[in-house]
Amino acid sequence: MSEFPTFQVIPAVDVQDGEVVQLVQGERGTEKRYGDPVDAARRWLDEGAEALHLVDLDGAFEGQRANADAIDDVLETVDVPTQLGGGIRTADDAVDLLERGVDRVILGTAAVENPEIVAEISERHPDSVVVSLDAKDGEVVVEGWTEGAGISPVEAAERYEELGAAAILFTNVDVEGQLEGVATEPVRELVDATAIPVVASGGVATLEDVRDLKDAGAAAVVVGSALYEGKFTLEEAQSVVDDS
């Protein structure tokens, strides 16, 4: 998963209490459930997924991985690159996951609280760290999107690029999970500010949203609710950007 040679549409498998869920604006209690994580992963592979985005949501909120068994079952099932986030708080945690077969680890709170962790992991496993920059009202938020970090996404992206991050995962929490469309300008600002790939997430509701994020310069897009709700198929989403 070292590069994104072509724009990728990456299905999300977000796990809470052992089940796939989608949250609205990242708030607990808003979840809609979509069944077994392995079944979801197999579905996306059958539909042509070239990568999977895995998140331990309980881990993101609680600060330690809580769905390890469910995630491990997915990893044992799939044969495409995976990126995993949620509850990864130390370099040793990240390295353990990478050595067990995860292609990239996604760091959010840990990277904000200790930026040097990005360099530490990257030195041991180059090109393996995706820094998750989740933003509300133009400010990076952490701790499961509940606390402001006092820094803008652009400022943060520039910092993590210098520390060796392989990519930035940018989630616009203002539109996340609402199926009401994307905001492309923040994505464009990040793309202009950094030389590493920007993976966009949040708000995708239509094929036009997918195309707009590609046009904004994103290297890939993570899609959750729109796929689970049948707004379009994975094949349709990938085709619309391949053809554009």
- C-alpha to C-alpha distance for 73 and 32, rounded to whole angstroms: 21
CA distances from 186 to 46, 119, 172, 235 (A): 33, 25, 8, 26
Beta bridge pairs of residue 171: 134, 201
Beta bridge pairs of residue 148: 141
Catalytic option among 58, 103, 134, 209: 134
- C-alpha to C-alpha distance for 219 and 229, rounded to whole angstroms: 24
Residue reference for tokens 């996404």: 153
- C-alpha to C-alpha distance for 182 and 175, rounded to whole angstroms: 7
Please report the beta strands in 17-87, taking only residues with DSSP state E, as ranges in sequence order.
Answer: 19-22, 32-33, 52-56, 82-85
Q: Does residue 134 have an active-site annotation?
A: yes
CB 215 within 8 A of CB 240: no
Residue reference for tokens 């905001």: 183
* DSSP for 182-193, written as a single string: --HHHHHHHHHH
- C-alpha to C-alpha distance for 102 and 109, rounded to whole angstroms: 19
Q: Which amino acids are annotated catalytic?
A: 14, 134
